[in-house]
Amino acid sequence: MEAIRERQGAALGVLYDRYAGLVYGLALQILGHVAEAEDLTQAVFVELWRKASYDPQRGSVSSFLYLLTRSRAIDRLRSQDSSQRLLKHWQSLLAAENRAPAPFEQLSLEERRQAVQEALGQLPESQRQVLELIYYQGLSQADVARHLGIPPATVKARARQALCKLRGSLRALLEVWS
């Protein structure tokens, strides 16, 4: 760990070789998806390299990595839960289109649709493209990454940034809808 604090890249390789299985196994157990577990494993070791916040007086390296991995995995689950709630809300709006709405409902739906389209139009092209592929084309994040030729982590980051911006843009409407 001292070598990592001194920015010796080989030290990170040694720690990775020694503890990647522990980190990956825990991440897979919590997240339940191989790609997510691989992404989190990488993120944990990147954070270890960037912050080098391990304190040997608080426990072993394996305990530190275990707690760091567990914490980051739970953060991701919470973030996914928030995104899933927003997706379900959008899906319920789309499902409402399958029945013949009353005239007042039709006007309200059209206003909502316009608000969402305007908010999507304010997003950077790269973020809007990712959301459209995920939510309108039904592609997974891994499929979007392959389709666009970018890393899965970039897809996840763009989707999260876009959803946060949409939430901010549509905050007043979201409060009315809920």
For 122-171, write each residue's pLDDT tens digit: 999 999 999 889 888 888 899 999 999 999 999 999 999 998 998 888 88
CB atoms closer than 10 angstroms to residue 80: 15
Q: Record the tokens describing residue 137, joined without a space.
A: 């084309």
Which stretch of DSSP H or E encloses residue 52? none
pLDDT averaged over the chain? 82
User: Tell me: domain 100-177, CATH 1.10.10.10, correct?
Assistant: yes
Q: Which residues contact 115 (CB under 8 A, 6 or more apart)?
A: 170, 173
Residue of 60, 61, 74, 59 whose CA lies nearest to 26: 74
Give the integer Cα–Cα distance in Å for 137 and 131: 9
Over residues 37-41, the mean pLDDT reads 92
C-beta separation of 8 from 17 below 8 A: no
92 pLDDT higher than 90: no
Answer CATH for 2-77 from 1.20.120.1630, 1.10.472.50, 1.10.1740.10, 2.40.50.90: 1.10.1740.10
pTM score of the predicted model: 0.45
Over residues 32-45, the mean pLDDT reads 89
Higher pLDDT, 38 or 88: 38
